[in-house]
Amino acid sequence: MRTDVDTDTDQVSLAVSTVIFALRPHPTTGRTTLWLPLVRRIREPYEGRWALPGGPLRPDEDLAASARHTLERTTGLAPRHLEQLYSFGAVDRSPEDRVVSIVYWALVRPDEDARATDGENVEWFVADDVRGLAFDHDTILRYALARLRAKITYSPIAFAFVTPEFTLADLRAVHEAVLDRSLDPANFRRQVLASGTVTATGSYLTGTSHRPPALYRRAALPEEIR
């Protein structure tokens, strides 16, 4: 019986890749939608194609540290929400060698996103419009989108996309952007208030209308669902 670390082969390489989601206005509709930064490859294989930012795992680097470094290089950001998503290791995912990618995802808050600075060969794209990425990165992106859309229905992940104080309209915009459909404001408000996941701060959004919307913050939960 073998166990974990009795490795006798070094023919498999390990990379850490990142899916970085932020909410920005759609270029034509103006509606808040999911974007992500991609990196243009400057060498073969897949030269000229777009790819998820990432790189080989350095021997002295933890997995999350590797993802944080990629994030910093790609976007200049250090978003609070960074977690491991999944590892992709199909034998044929890279044409020339065997590479397993451990994928992290980052969810960027609007106040964090305001400080984003694009790295070299980096551009942001509307996530649902992206096709033709290098390697199996289309598959990875579809997986990340599906996970995000499932998780927002049963976990507090939506809060990763709002500032610490937010209006219910802010929170609804996150759900609408992630689910890619409109939600009835009155129903959404009723459901969120009934869920016990938010607490009114007692303050209101100033400088807006004659009926300024109330500000909320995330309620402390007994236990997080991850």
Interface ranges with its own copies (CB under 8 A) = 1-15, 17, 39-43, 45, 51-63, 70, 73-74, 84, 86-87, 89-91, 94, 97-102, 119-122, 134-135, 137, 150, 153-154, 223, 225-226
Residue 75 C-beta: closest distance to its own copies, Å: 11
CA distance 211 to 204: 9
Please identify, using beta-carbon distances, which residue of 10 and 207 lies nearer to its own copies. Answer: 10
Rg, C-alpha atoms of the chain: 20
Output the DSSP codes for 180-212.
TS---HHHHHHHHHHHT-EEEEEEE--SS-SSP
- Shortest approach of its own copies to residue 33 CB, angstroms? 22
Greatest distance between any 2 Cα atoms in the chain: 72
Query: In terms of CB distance, is 133 or 162 closer to its own copies?
Result: 133
Closer CB to its own copies, 104 or 159, in the complex: 104
Nearest to 39 by CA among 20, 64, 14: 20
Judged by beta carbon, residue 30 or residue 223, the one nearer its own copies is 223
CB nearer to its own copies: pick between 51 and 205: 51
For residue 206, the minimal CB distance to its own copies (Å) is 38
- Tell me which H or E stretch contains 111: helix 110-113
Helix (H) or strand (E) holding 98: none
Q: Residue 146 Cβ, how far from its own copies at the closest point, in Å?
A: 9
Would residue 148 be called left, alpha or beta, if left means φ above 0 and alpha means ψ between -120 and 50 degrees? alpha
Question: What is the spatial distance between Cα 98 and Cα 14, in angstroms, rounded to a whole number?
Answer: 9
In whole angstroms, the minimum distance from the beta carbon of 124 to its own copies comes to 14
Q: What's the closest the beta carbon of residue 30 comes to its own copies, in angstroms?
A: 29
Helix (H) or strand (E) holding 71: helix 63-75
Q: Which is nearer to its own copies, 137 or 172 (CB)?
A: 137
